[in-house]
Structure 1
Amino acid sequence: MAIVERVFSGVQPTGNLHLGNYLGAIVNFVKLQETHNCIYCVVDMHAITQGADVWGGPAELARNTREVAAAFIAAGVDPKKHIVFNQSQVSGHAELTWIFNCVARVGWLSRMTQFKEKAGKDRENASVGLYDYPVLMAADILLYRATHVPVGEDQKQHLELARDIAQKFNNDFGDSIRGQGFNEGLFFPQPEPLITGPATRVMSLRDGTKKMSKSDSSDNSRINLTDDADTIAQKIRKAKTDPEPLPSEEKGLETRPEADNLVGIYAALSGRSKQQVLSEFGGGQFSSFKNALVELCVEKLSPIASEMKRLVADPGHVDAILVDGAERANAIAAETMKSTKDIVGFIRSR
């Protein structure tokens, strides 16, 4: 079973998809499908690692799962040419996670900064799933022997863990891997990160030092993918800025996080560099720039919001897409799991 170049990425169905999700992930999903074989997953198993008060309970999880799938499709992902599915429909994710739990080391997981951030001071009461979810993330990627993963800066550490697990598995079971016909002793690839675009990390509209997040108590801190044109305009015009004009050079953004964030958003939505944006708007006041940003955001996001609304109103159609995607994903996953079990020494039915 030769390694095929393949992209894998997933988005948690935690509700309230926003501009950060779109620019940091979904817009790149659309671009990558032009050049790669792509598998895009709604990672509903990751969503339940914290209490139901965080993920909203069963009805909310199902609704959010459909909303993320709808966002993929509304943004331009083609579920017929590529694979769109929800993680829990493919049992290989859980199976491979257990095997990787026995390969990964506690010290590796203890260094994961996101666990420390999410668990806070009450780590003893955090779920095992929250602690272990980087291993599940590694299994998500390697179940399809993916070679490339589009990730934001905050996920690079988890991708490094996936690479470490792949390498240790290949080393631990090298003789068995070669015995199964993989002559170089390489079964799992070491996936490479794909970090693209000028706005891979979109910050809050109220505080340019904090990441845009659905958990922020202020709805004005983010642009939701379901916001209408008037709401988008209001949020951008209220976005925090500083009293100085926009700089003409990118270096002038280094100590101005709010300006840097808005310029980055404009650049990403327009497919230009930050410097190109500043060449047009540098020296001008924020009011004029914000008006231009409003027009651009509405132009790019309104069609997505309309299509998402249409798709979410037809849950049966979305579910059919997810089931079809899961069947195609499972065909790949099953081959990986057969070889993995043979390599480890598990007896299985032939």
Structure 2
Amino acid sequence: MTEPARVFSGIQPTGIPHLGNWLGALRNWGALQASHECLFCLVDMHAITMPWTPAALRRNTLESAACLLASGIEPGRLYVQSAVSAHARMGWLFDCVVRLGWLNRMTQFKDKAGKNRENHSAGLYIYPALMAADILATGATLVPVGDDQRQHIELTNDIAQKFNHDMGVEFFKPVEALIPPQAARVMSLRDGGKKMSKSDPSAQSRILLTDSADEIAQKIRRAKTDPEPLPAEPAGLADRPEARNLVGIYAAVADSTPDNVLAAFAGKGFGDFKKALADLLVAKLAPISAETSRLLQDEGHVRAVLRQGAEQARTITDPITDRAEGLVGFLR
């Protein structure tokens, strides 16, 4: 009997996960557990590639863990990256395999560093190799990611192939990006041209998984729109990014399509639509918010769940990393 493919994915604990994180990743992660062997990771080592404070990182890691558990991630499948040494060990091996030319082509470093790249840490530059280590140290062959992360999966396979070639083995298996066919691209509630982000200075731009019903309703009510009524077809939203964003959110949360949403609301103004959207979001997110709050009342339990996950992860990652280190010539 063929064993199910192993799935790995991670999220940075840089703040409370938002609606975009839930629609783009967390909801899908929960569903994958029924059909795959899954490992999910809070990548705190990646979180320190940008400016951080220790107290905020500790708090964000606990809060993110509680949100993920409340979103349906099962205990034993979730752990903190830094608690499993294989990530750092494999990361160093790959730092010595990846070529500078490959890293120079990575677009996310350019986006994050901007014009001040000389003032950023070497970690921000080299982190794609650590991302490859995160995946390959777990033996995963499927990685659920957004389309904007496809380049990282390509680099992971380049590193794996070079390692295999240099060591004269077929050790690492090819990795496949698991991109949902209709992945929701959730934009800011204040600017339909920008992705919803934890780092946006405006708290009104995003809906957090811990927001109360009143906060969700208020943010949707204040979300930027335009004075025109909703059209009958998606083509009518082509030049209306904020309207398109809200319709897309409704469709994604309701497991429907923009066509169906517009069929129900065509010709109506945003007053009725926003109320319906807020009610839908509250119905879906209120249980997650309540469970997150409950979990955070017992931080010791959350820490114990993360330790359990790390122990389980080490039974997978340590043998793989031990073997990789042996292949490069490290004495054991």
TM-score normalised per structure 2: 0.95
Q: Which residue of 2 aligns with 1:64?
A: 60
Residue 13 of structure 1, CA deviation: 0.5
Shift in Å, 1:284 = 2.3
Aligned partner of 2:253 among 269, 282, 292: 269
- Number of residue pairs matched by the alignment: 331
Q: 1:49 to 1:37 in 2, by over 3 A?
A: same
How many Å apart are 1:115 and its aligned residue?
1.0
The aligned residue for residue 153 of structure 1 is 147
Q: CA offset at residue 149 of structure 1?
A: 0.8
Deviation at 1:4, TM superposition (A): 6.0
Q: Which residue of 2 aligns with 1:292?
A: 276
Q: TM-score, normalised to structure 1's length? A: 0.90
Q: CA deviation at 1:171?
A: 2.2
CA apart distance, 1:254: 2.7
Check whether the contact 1:207–1:240 (CA below 8 A) recurs between aligned residues: yes
Distance (Å, rounded) in 2 between the aligned partners of 1:193 and 1:248: 35
Deviation at 1:246, TM superposition (A): 1.8
1:75 is matched with 71
Aligned residue number for residue 50 of structure 2: 50
Q: Does 1:245 align with 2:229?
A: yes
Amino acid at match of 2:81: Q
SS at match of 1:295: helix
Question: Which residue of 2 is the match for residue 314 of structure 1?
Answer: 298
CA distance in 1, matches of 2:162, 2:280: 47
Partner Cα separation in structure 1 for residue 263 and residue 183 of structure 2: 18
After superposition, give the CA deviation of every residue in 1:234-259 in whole Å (9 maximum; x if it has no partner).
Answer: 11011111222222223333322112
Identity percentage of aligned residues: 59
Once the two structures are superposed, residues 83-106 of structure 1 have per-residue CA deviations (whole angstroms, 9 ceiling, x without a partner) of: 110000111101111111111111
- Aligned partner (choices 180, 186, 191) of residue 196 of structure 1: 180
Per the TM alignment, residue 199 of structure 1 is displaced from its structure 2 partner at its CA by: 4.9
Query: Which amino acid counterpart does residue 282 of structure 1 have in structure 2?
Result: A
Q: Which residue of 2 aligns with 1:180?
A: none
Deviation of 1:157 (Å): 1.7
Whether the aligned pair in 1 keeps the contact of 2:210 and 2:289 (CA below 8 Å) is: yes
Secondary structure of the structure 1 residue equivalent to 2:13: coil
Q: Quote how far apart the aligned CAs of 1:196 are.
A: 1.7
CA RMSD of aligned residues (A): 1.6
2:7 alignment counterpart: 7
In structure 2, the residue matched to 1:33 is 33
Runs of at least 5 residues in structure 1 that lack an aligned partner in the other structure: 178-184
Q: Which runs of 5+ in 2 are unaligned?
A: none
Which of 94, 114, 124 does residue 118 from structure 2 map onto? 124
Alpha-carbon contact 2:62-2:303 (below 8 Å) kept:
yes
- 1:141 aligns with one of 135, 139, 143: 135
**In 1, distance between residues paired with 2:190 and 2:138?**
39
Q: Using the alignment, how far apart are the partners of 1:198 and 1:286 within structure 2?
A: 25
1:213 is paired with a residue whose SS is coil
SS in 1 for 2:115: coil
Q: Which residue of 1 aligns with 2:314?
A: 330
What is the alpha-carbon distance in structure 1 between the residues aligned to residue 316 and residue 257 of structure 2?
Answer: 38
In 2, the alpha carbon distance for the partners of 1:12 and 1:100 equals: 20
Write the distance in 1 (CA, Å) between the matches of 2:331 and 2:115. 43
Secondary structure of 1:120's partner?
helix
Given that 1:242 and 1:259 are in contact with CA atoms closer than 8 Å, whether structure 2 keeps it comes out as yes
Find the aligned partners of 2:93 and 2:4 in 1 and give their Cα distance. 22
Q: Aligned to 1:235, what secondary structure does the other structure show? A: helix
Please tell me whether the aligned partners of residues 12 and 44 of structure 2 are also in contact (alpha carbons under 8 angstroms): yes
Q: Is the 8 A contact 2:4 2:36 kept in 1?
A: no
